[in-house]
Amino acid sequence: MTAPHGQVPLAETSPNGRHPAGSRAGPPGAGPEPPAPEHGDLAESAVHLAGGAEAALGPGPFAGFGLRQAAGVLRIAGRQAVREPQALLRGASGAGRELLRVALGKSEVAPDKGDKRFADPAWRENPVYRAVMQTYLYLGSGVDGVVDNLGIEGVNAERARFALTLVREALAPTNFLLGNPAALKRSIDTGGGSIRSGIANWTGDLRHNRGMPSMVDRRPFRLGENLAATPGAVIHRTQVFELIQYTPQGATVYQRPMLVVPPQVNKYYALDLAPGRSMVEYLLKQGIQVFCISWRNPTGAQRDWNFDTYAQATIEAIDAAREVTGSPDVNVMGGCLGGMTVAIVQAHLAALDDHRIHSATMTVTLLDCESDGRMFLFATPQSLALAKKASRRSGVIDGWQMAQVFAWLRPNDLVWNYWVNNYLLGKDPPAFDILAWNGDTTRLSSAFHHQVLDLAAGNQLARPGTMTVLGTPIDISRIACDTYVVAGRTDHITPWHTCYRTSQLVSGRSQFVLCSSGHIQTVVADPKHPRLGYYLNPETPPEAEQWMAGAQRHEGSWWEHWAGWLADRSGEQVAVPQSVGSPRFPAKEPAPGTYVHQ
């Protein structure tokens, strides 16, 4: 396997015989900003054209790359086109023939089956709208050809494709009032009321949502009432976290508890959404004793919090759960950055020959960061240094910045969909629990943010001994307990092929599960949800595609399979405790506690 052009090649093997990835861009230094390159890396040139660190706060505080940098990429591609105009003329004759067929109403160009933008009947029945749609779809489908004809190669080609895709999606006719027949009909039906409502929504978002269209109406939701409402109590609080123990919901419980370690980039209650959709509630009904960390939302005063801080807090939570339940060890679960934290804690404890963790579940988690996803597509030493500079100034990366990262990775679903709904149709955004959680953002301390950048750029968790936490060189291959790894087939943040590599990095037995959904829906997979499915294969061959070739699809939620896997690793069933907590860790106030409100 070779790295994309402009990236460091992969190492041949790791000490445990597996295949880790190499460095994405080399660990960024803390020295002065590098000068703008005259030639070579497209991302670094784009950062320079966009204006440096002050422009690095668009969709990419993790990688120092924003919308203005995307514009810089387009400017570079435009200069290339001016120098080589013949590149754009290749295939022009074929395009001319197809556009003539469009004009004559004979074209067969049609939207993909899942493209909801063109669902209105007018796109099929009105010849003008049909021609506009077909012209847009045909020209938009030529993005790959344009990049190829310009002679851009390797990772620079992927960067150019991404920038051009942002432009293509922005120029969809459905994003404009006159180009959206559904919006025009609604404006007539409402006597212009939808236009007035759309303007009001737009001005509200300019004032309160930094110009991004709101994804959710949060007004119907109340923490502790219809979100994060599973009964329990805070039994331990530090400056870093609160530990919640949930009230058992059966006649007996398994002796060994489950500790949930949520990601630091979100609040914990994605796992405790509305009653009936809560993973915590589901586990309690299976007899699992559940404890959950709720991280404090850092401010500039906590700028020095780092992986040491979060790893030590996780160990403290493990010990509290052990003391309360009388169990010598625990099962742990972590998702996304929480999964990284779990893996780091496991490797640290394993190096000390400490067996406080009996099994681990990691959902949508990248330990090997050599990914084909877009999250670090523009990661270069220069762009990462600029991202560090931005967070160092305030001491934190704000949650809204991170939310914009994820939105612009899927612009049709997470930006333009709401643009049309809120502004052109004049409707309120939907009131949906998972979107309410997604909009309840958190901050990252600058020290932790810098470490995450270094971890990803240097692919440190896939390179034993590169990262040190709590004084211990981290070697993921030391993890010898059973591991349950979950990924989403359509996940755009943590691609499933990359998540699969976790099964090759750890030395214990692994069960890999591939869900049919995306990043968030993979975790929030309540069994009542229609059309869910997941893939299982008891083996973990070296490559993800080999695993997929031998996998079988199962209908329903992976929670059901996971509950059985957990039950086999949760010890004997014992009587339900009379109350949550213990004399050392007494119940303080009801769940969801206080930190979740910050």
User: In the beta sheet, which residues pair with residue 294?
Assistant: 242
Q: How far apart are CA 223 and CA 113, in angstroms?
A: 38
Tokens of 390: 């931005």
Task: Report the C-alpha gap between 496 and 487 in whole angstroms.
Answer: 5
452 vs 466: CA distance, rounded Å: 13
Please give the DSSP secondary-structure letter assigned to residue 468. Answer: E
DSSP bridge pairs for 364 = none
273: tokens are 């959404």
Alpha helices in 257-298 (DSSP H): 279-285
Packing angle, helices 381-394 and 42-50, rounded to 10: 40
Q: Where are the alpha helices (DSSP H) in 180-252?
A: 181-189, 193-208
Token pair listed for 13: 């093997």
* Pure H helices in 51-153: 67-83, 86-89, 92-103, 122-125, 127-140, 143-149
From residue 335, how far is each of 59, 221, 342, 480, 528 by CA, in Å?
22, 24, 9, 19, 22
Residues 579 and 87: their CA atoms lie apart, in Å, by 73
CB 526 within 8 A of CB 282: yes
SS3 252: strand
Q: Which two tokens stand for residue 119?
A: 């669902």
- Residues with Cβ < 8 Å from 88, sequence gap 6 or more? 81, 146, 149
Half-sphere exposure of 381 toward its Cβ, with a 13 Å CA cutoff? 17
259: which 2 tokens?
């500790």
Q: Is 401 helix (H, G, I), strand (E, B) or coil?
A: helix
Q: How would DSSP label each residue in 481-516?
A: SEEEEEEETT-SSS-HHHHHTHHHHSSS-EEEEEES
What's the residue count for the chain? 598
Task: Please name the residue that has the structure tokens 């009801």.
Answer: 590
Secondary structure class of 266 (helix, strand, coil)? strand
Where does residue 553 rank: exposed (0-12), middle (13-18), buried (19+ CB within 10 A)? exposed
Residue 487 makes CB contacts below 8 A (sequence gap 6+) with: 363, 364, 494, 495, 496, 499, 500, 512, 513, 514, 515, 522
CB-CB contact of 104 with 94 (8 Å): no
Active-site pick, 292, 336, 481, 515 = 336
Q: Is 369 a catalytic residue?
A: no
Return the active site residues. 336
